[in-house]
Amino acid sequence: MSTSEPATRARASARPVEALFAPRSVAVLGASDDVLKWGNWLARGALRGAHRRPAYLVNRRAATVLGQTAFPSLSALPGPADLVVIAVPASGLDAAVDDALAAGARAIVAITASSHDTPDAAAAQAALAARVQVAGAVLLGPNCLGVMDAGEQLELATADLPAGAIGLISQSGNLALELALLAARDGLGFSRFASLGNQADLGATELVGALAAHEPTTLIALYLEDFRDGRAFARAAHDAVAAGKPVVALAIAGGAVTARAVASHTGALASDDAAIDAALRAAGVHRVRTPQELIDACSVLLRCRPMAGRRVAVLADGGGHGSIAAAESERHGLALPELSAALCRRLRTELPAVAAVANPVDLAGGAERDVHVFDRIAHTVLDSGEVDGLLVTGYFGGYAESGPEVAAEELRAAGMISAVATATRRPIVVHTMFGAGAAAATLRDAGVPVYATIEQATAALHRLAPRPDPAEIPSLPVPATPITASAAGHDERAQQLLAAGGVPFVASRVVGADTADVLAAADELGYPVALKALGPLHKSDAGAVVLGLGHATALRAAYAELVSRLGPQRFFVQRMAPLADGIELLIGVRWDPRLGPVALAGAGGLYAEVLRDTAVALAPVDQRRACALIASLRIAPLLAGARGRPPLDLDAAAQALSALSRVAAAHPELAELEVNPLLVLPSGALALDARFVHVPEEH
Amino acid sequence: MSTSEPATRARASARPVEALFAPRSVAVLGASDDVLKWGNWLARGALRGAHRRPAYLVNRRAATVLGQTAFPSLSALPGPADLVVIAVPASGLDAAVDDALAAGARAIVAITASSHDTPDAAAAQAALAARVQVAGAVLLGPNCLGVMDAGEQLELATADLPAGAIGLISQSGNLALELALLAARDGLGFSRFASLGNQADLGATELVGALAAHEPTTLIALYLEDFRDGRAFARAAHDAVAAGKPVVALAIAGGAVTARAVASHTGALASDDAAIDAALRAAGVHRVRTPQELIDACSVLLRCRPMAGRRVAVLADGGGHGSIAAAESERHGLALPELSAALCRRLRTELPAVAAVANPVDLAGGAERDVHVFDRIAHTVLDSGEVDGLLVTGYFGGYAESGPEVAAEELRAAGMISAVATATRRPIVVHTMFGAGAAAATLRDAGVPVYATIEQATAALHRLAPRPDPAEIPSLPVPATPITASAAGHDERAQQLLAAGGVPFVASRVVGADTADVLAAADELGYPVALKALGPLHKSDAGAVVLGLGHATALRAAYAELVSRLGPQRFFVQRMAPLADGIELLIGVRWDPRLGPVALAGAGGLYAEVLRDTAVALAPVDQRRACALIASLRIAPLLAGARGRPPLDLDAAAQALSALSRVAAAHPELAELEVNPLLVLPSGALALDARFVHVPEEH
């Protein structure tokens, strides 16, 4: 568990990542005439770029490959090999990498899988990567599908990728293939592609940096199973987004991290998936769940400017499509405002009497008389400023079936729809049931995203809605002196640790097993109090706590009962908190092996795991972000005062969360640290209970 | 607001709905040579069926249409017209219907829109429908797109529909068109189609009945904006499902019902959409949200048998697709059990060493050597009985690119995959990135559903998981004496009404403004009590209630304060309920204009609207269904006892909900009736507050 941020950043700036995409020369090790071998694909790809750079084919036995001179080894090449692609059997990988380094390669692509299918595989790959790094080179793979750069005509990937503006980084070969097919169908393509493979050396972080700096790449797409250093990755993605390049990521939880035992609510609720969400949200990355969603997101982000707000209009030719698109838009959190009376009057002059115009706008057959009602209505609606974007849904693209004149007008209307989006600076997204037709193609070519289903179109439009500003990816503090693992005094230590860090606790005292001491503590704290038996007992032991002791007599009786039943050596005397006056929250941090400390706020007490009403962010969180996190909970309205109750102290709750997150971030040895409940009161917030869980020992 | 169930059912059995789909003769009123007119489409369609039945074309002016003799009027026909299709201008609709009835038509299809675009449109249509009903005929429309029966070769719709097994009822023309396109792409088609239009006479209920009785129809699909009598519809759909015909419905909330003001939590939470959900769920209908979802559901329900459980395996050739499909499956509530060690050993013998086998199963390139690993692994996994269904995802269908021999083997493998599903009686659903290829077509033809995206495939598989048994659609009791609307004594009347119906309330007394009476009531009830000022005060007036009065002195003081401040004429003295011992629920009923009384259970008290943790069912609900409703809430685990608390009395809570639902169902004049909170205790449940809202007067 190490973040190794400074190392990563320093390394990234100095390393020859560009040699991977824009090498001065290329050598294919294992070039082959056998069409079933990858060395054949790669050799052909290298030769297609031979007018741009020397392409050397290396084969130990053959004198020629693909009709070209083949060289028996890298040392026999007539010139230097800037980029070496290795497609030899696994057993030859180590030697091939060493040969490449000896030949002066600055970049190596290891298509070959690692042969280290042993418990030592990770160590062997690390050793390989170390040799590459010492030599000042970079290695992609092993076990990857290669690299591509459209502008450089570098085609060293085992998948055919159409050219375009997307920089793609993928950890799965078949997935890259599917993305290529889906992109081509949508008229999109790729500027660069790197297949990650095992990420022995080069990982997603450095490659995102390279794509962010690559001018022809205007959007970065990723498929990732393992973030490695997740904070470094988030920072690189954040920088790319800040530089104006949207990042879309399909990230799988639990791909590399084995399932873990969790011991606290925070551990259960701040899941791997939630942690990934938090990291990608902080970086401003669009997260998607499937390949189609990824390409759909690329289409709308490449083709449209963002919306200034969440207000959209739906334009349909038929009430059914309008209703469905409206419902789907609202499901995505978009708003369909009723259009103003003045605007409705203007729309009505264009449409049949039975048309609905208030939003959705239903052409009601108006386009059958003149297909240009689409572009005219689109202009009127968007130019009004009453909405931030427009969804056209249904039949557009099908009027062509009425004959060649109408077909021609429909193509012109498609062009004019695009012009409306440009002129009004507001996006138009189209769903058509004729997605394979000419009008759809014209729209796409003119920069209007077109989708085959209503659900894709509405999901795409919602990606253009305003998003929270990306957070700075928080840096981690210098680790504090570790808390040692030990059963005794657990709760006290958790409380001490957090109280010292600025988390306010309800007043309490720890005293020995002595009646006078217990009574004195209660007098000092003020009644009513709670009494808890401490010591070798586990806190969850039934009956170790007695609540609501209103006076000394009750306290004496509870004390005597606990002593006789549990024989504790010490007691915890706590002022009873005014539970009925406030709301209970859960606040906590889980240390994720990839993403570091992840802060969680949620409904607390009885409701914590039942409601799963939680919000998660990379820790530490400052006061502002802690506020936003708590305010995003479903139960947040209760903090504003419900049923005539006074508003509760959100600021104090946020302060407690922020303080807890700072403490946790300084204690990587604690896998989980939580306060539950945190009682938020009209004035202030009080932690009532705290606990931590150590990172399990490695074995 | 009337349910009119008996009338609907009696009518359905006697009416000649079959004449709509299987007429003995057809006449097209408004048949035309003008290809832009609907009368042209319809005439051509009628003539295509002329070998099955006489097809008469009627045109007032032309002697011939489409080269056939045209008749100037229905009275001039040489034989009877069993089905008359009307495609004349709107102003001629009424006369055309009367002419058709005079000519002895048993069924009329009014393509023509109603010309009654006036406030009286509904009345005019009702009058038209009454004339049709008196004549013993049926009318489809007006303003509809026609009717089709594939087996009868009846093609009187303005949309081309491929033939197949789906009976389609649609309230939108362009939507029917999109469904036809999507179905054709998936190798599916339609047995019958009826376009509802304005449903002046024939509605979805009767047509569902006709499709349920139609042997070639094996699945019923609907697009509906207005249920009319929603209970009658639900009952018809329920009967169809019970008869073995799955029903899939795309139903839009709020299409016909105008937005309504809501006055209670129940009114806000039992939304139109939730009410539709409740009705369709009770009927056993698959609800979908978009046209693509509808066709995707048809594909899997027509082609697969249901699963016995929720356990599925994922079979992928590549870790990426496997991980994504696993995550999407789990998102849909499917379980991916780890396969047994014995089964994993068997799978490993078939696959490369690096393959993952525990589930997802990753072929890891194994299919490149032999594409039949797909059908062999599918058989081994499904035959083991360790899962209930299988999802194949990713590259299958693309091996054909390796050459003609592999292509042929891949087609054979597709056939064998289908055979595995048949032999093991467990469904296989396929996602392939090559959905337009030959292997995909072979799979579809062999009865295996194939999807273009992972999200569609996992959504489809989840439709095969076991579903709760459809409920009987509850009947409504005879209405009780209506509660009259009046501001005074509102809360008492709500409590009296519900208490008389069997809802247990916390003990209370209503007494006059007299200290002695108030004190006597408290003595009788037992302290602590709550005191509420009644009378002309509105209950939400701040400070009309004082809680937790522990003794007579406190009660006296509270009484005096309320008298001096609010001057009430009566008081409500209530025994304080032990709030800390239980959980607060919300129970209520909303009367929906289409669906009748809809019962709601939810998290109550402070949390009611914040959490929106609710479950909804058609009312009245019996004890078993009330239990199931409450048990489906997210907060339900708290009823089982949380944090060492004793379990709470679910049965008592269910009894209260059931009783409330019976009362509400007998009072259609009450738009909303609710208890909030219902305090569920370790033994028993107590209503603490109740209210009702009258249906607004029509204006």
pLDDT in tens, A35-70: 888 899 999 999 999 999 999 999 999 999 999 999
Query: What span, in angstroms and rounded, lies between the C-alpha atoms of A381 and A350?
Result: 12
Chain A residues with CB under 8 Å of B172 CB are 318-321
The answer, for A323 touching chain B at a CB cutoff of 8 Å, is yes
Which tokens belong to A127?
A: 């050793």
- Quote the crossing angle between the two packed helices B204-212 and B5-14, to the nearest 10°: 50
Strand partners, A432: A394
Within 265-284 of A, beta carbons closer than 8 Å to B belong to: none
- Our CA-based measurement puts residue A681 at a distance from the nearest CA of chain B, in whole angstroms, of 15
Chain A residues with CB under 8 Å of B327 CB are 252-253, 289
Within 29-68 of A, beta carbons closer than 8 Å to B belong to: 36
Q: Which pLDDT does position B187 carry in this prediction?
A: 96
Chain B residues with CB under 8 Å of A277 CB are none
Q: Which pLDDT does position A643 carry in this prediction?
A: 63
Query: What span, in angstroms and rounded, lies between the C-alpha atoms of A590 and A668?
Result: 9
No. of helices (H) and no. of strands (E), chain B: 25, 29
Question: Do strands A596-603 and A583-592 pair parallel, antiparallel, or not at all (unpaired)?
Answer: antiparallel
How many CA atoms does the CB half-sphere of A79 hold within 13 Å? Answer: 11
Which tokens belong to B336?
A: 């991916």
Closest CA to B197 of B167, B230, B172: B172
Q: Which pLDDT does position B118 carry in this prediction?
A: 60
> Taking the C-alpha atoms of A500, A505, A507 and A508 in order, what is their torsion angle to the nearest 10 degrees?
-70
% of chain A residues with pLDDT over 70: 93
Question: Do strands B361-362 and B312-316 pair parallel, antiparallel, or not at all (unpaired)?
Answer: parallel
Q: Which residues of chain B have pLDDT under 70?
A: 1-13, 114-119, 254-263, 487-489, 535-543, 642-644, 698-699
**Looking at the predicted structure, is the pLDDT value of residue A1 above 80?**
no
The answer, for B289 touching chain A at a CB cutoff of 8 Å, is yes
CB atoms B255 and A323 under 8 Å: yes
Query: What span, in angstroms and rounded, lies between the C-alpha atoms of A135 and A126?
Result: 14
Residues 6+ apart with CB under 8 A from B369: none
- DSSP states of B39-70: HHHHHHHHHHTTTTS-EEEE-SS-SEETTEEE
Chain A residues with CB under 8 Å of B330 CB are none
The answer, for B318 touching chain A at a CB cutoff of 8 Å, is yes
Q: Which pLDDT does position A114 carry in this prediction?
A: 65
- Our CA-based measurement puts residue A389 at a distance from the nearest CA of chain B, in whole angstroms, of 21
CB atoms B320 and A289 under 8 Å: no
Q: What is the pLDDT of residues A225-253, one digit of tens each?
A: 888 899 999 999 999 999 999 999 999 88
**Looking at the predicted structure, is the pLDDT value of residue A506 above 90?**
yes
Q: Which pLDDT does position A366 carry in this prediction?
A: 84
Tell me the CA distances in angstroms from A563 to A442, A512, A515, A520, A540, one per residue in order: 83, 11, 10, 17, 17
The answer, for A632 touching chain B at a CB cutoff of 8 Å, is no
CB atoms A395 and B113 under 8 Å: no
> Taking the C-alpha atoms of B662, B667, B671 and B676 in order, what is their torsion angle to the nearest 10 degrees?
-40
Q: What is the pLDDT of residues A646-699, one digit of tens each?
A: 899 999 999 999 999 999 999 999 999 999 999 999 999 999 989 998 988 764
Closest CA to B21 of B95, B94, B85, B80: B85
Q: Which pLDDT does position A503 carry in this prediction?
A: 97
Q: Which pLDDT does position B326 carry in this prediction?
A: 94
Q: What would the 3-class secondary structure string for B520-538 be?
A: HHHHHHCCCEEEEEECCCC
- Our CA-based measurement puts residue B325 at a distance from the nearest CA of chain A, in whole angstroms, of 9
- DSSP states of A669-686: TEEEEEEEEEEE-SS-EE
Residues 6+ apart with CB under 8 A from B383: B423, B424
> Which residue of chain B comes nearest to A183, CA vs CA?
B433
Dmax over CA atoms of chain A, in Å, equals: 101
- Our CA-based measurement puts residue A516 at a distance from the nearest CA of chain B, in whole angstroms, of 31
CB atoms A634 and B644 under 8 Å: no
Out of B117, B172, B320, whose CB is closest to A223? Answer: B320
Eight-class DSSP state of A335: B
Residues in chain B: 699
Instruction: Return the number of CB contacts < 8 Å for A and B.
Output: 157
Do residues A653 and A639 make contact, with C-beta atoms less than 8 angstroms apart?
Answer: yes
The answer, for B454 touching chain A at a CB cutoff of 8 Å, is yes
Query: What span, in angstroms and rounded, lies between the C-alpha atoms of B344 and B161?
Result: 47
CB atoms A453 and B292 under 8 Å: yes
Residues 6+ apart with CB under 8 A from B391: B312, B313, B314, B315, B325, B329, B428, B429, B430, B431, B457, B458, B461
Chain B residues with CB under 8 Å of A455 CB are 289-290, 292-293
Buried b (16+ CB within 10 A) or exposed e, B366-378: bbbeebbbbbbbb
Out of A177, A321, A634, whose CB is closest to B611? Answer: A634
Chain B residues with CB under 8 Å of A291 CB are 324, 433, 453-454
Do residues B673 and B266 make contact, with C-beta atoms less than 8 angstroms apart?
Answer: yes
Chain B residues with CB under 8 Å of A177 CB are 395, 398, 433
CB atoms B172 and A320 under 8 Å: yes
**Looking at the predicted structure, is the pLDDT value of residue A625 above 90?**
yes
Do residues A617 and A471 make contact, with C-beta atoms less than 8 angstroms apart?
Answer: yes
Q: What angle do CA A304, A154, A235 make, to 5 degrees?
A: 50
Question: Do strands A570-575 and A508-512 pair parallel, antiparallel, or not at all (unpaired)?
Answer: antiparallel
> Which residue of chain A comes nearest to B226, CA vs CA?
A320
Which tokens belong to B623?
A: 């004890």
Closest CA to B652 of B525, B502, B478: B502
- Our CA-based measurement puts residue A175 at a distance from the nearest CA of chain B, in whole angstroms, of 6
Closest CA to A584 of A603, A612, A609: A603
pLDDT band per the 50, 70, 90 thresholds, residue A612: confident
Closest CA to B311 of B171, B466, B201: B466
Q: Which pLDDT does position B258 carry in this prediction?
A: 40
What is this model's ipTM?
A: 0.91
In what side-by-side order are the strands of the sheet with A26-29? A64-65, A68-71, A55-58, A26-29, A83-86, A107-110, A138-140
Q: Which pLDDT does position A243 carry in this prediction?
A: 95
Mean pLDDT (chain A) is 90
Query: What span, in angstroms and rounded, lies between the C-alpha atoms of A660 and A501?
Result: 7
Q: Which pLDDT does position A2 carry in this prediction?
A: 41
Residues 6+ apart with CB under 8 A from B309: B388, B465, B466
Domains, chain A, in order of start with CATH, read: 1-143 (3.40.50.720), 147-304 (3.40.50.261), 307-462 (3.40.50.261), 507-576 (3.30.1490.20), 582-694 (3.30.470.20)
**Looking at the predicted structure, is the pLDDT value of residue A255 above 60?**
no
Out of A317, A453, A606, whose CB is closest to B174? Answer: A317
Residues 6+ apart with CB under 8 A from B458: B325, B328, B329, B331, B332, B334, B391
Within 331-360 of A, beta carbons closer than 8 Å to B belong to: 331, 353-354
| SS3 at position A167 | strand
Q: What is the pLDDT of residues A94-153, one digit of tens each?
A: 999 999 999 999 999 999 876 655 667 788 889 999 999 999 999 999 989 999 999 999
The answer, for A117 touching chain B at a CB cutoff of 8 Å, is yes
The answer, for A328 touching chain B at a CB cutoff of 8 Å, is yes
Q: Which pLDDT does position B538 carry in this prediction?
A: 42
Chain A residues with CB under 8 Å of B292 CB are 452-455
Query: What span, in angstroms and rounded, lies between the C-alpha atoms of A66 and A73?
Result: 17
The answer, for A365 touching chain B at a CB cutoff of 8 Å, is no
Q: Which pLDDT does position B8 carry in this prediction?
A: 43
Beta strands in A410-466 (DSSP E): 428-432, 450-451
Chain B residues with CB under 8 Å of A250 CB are 324
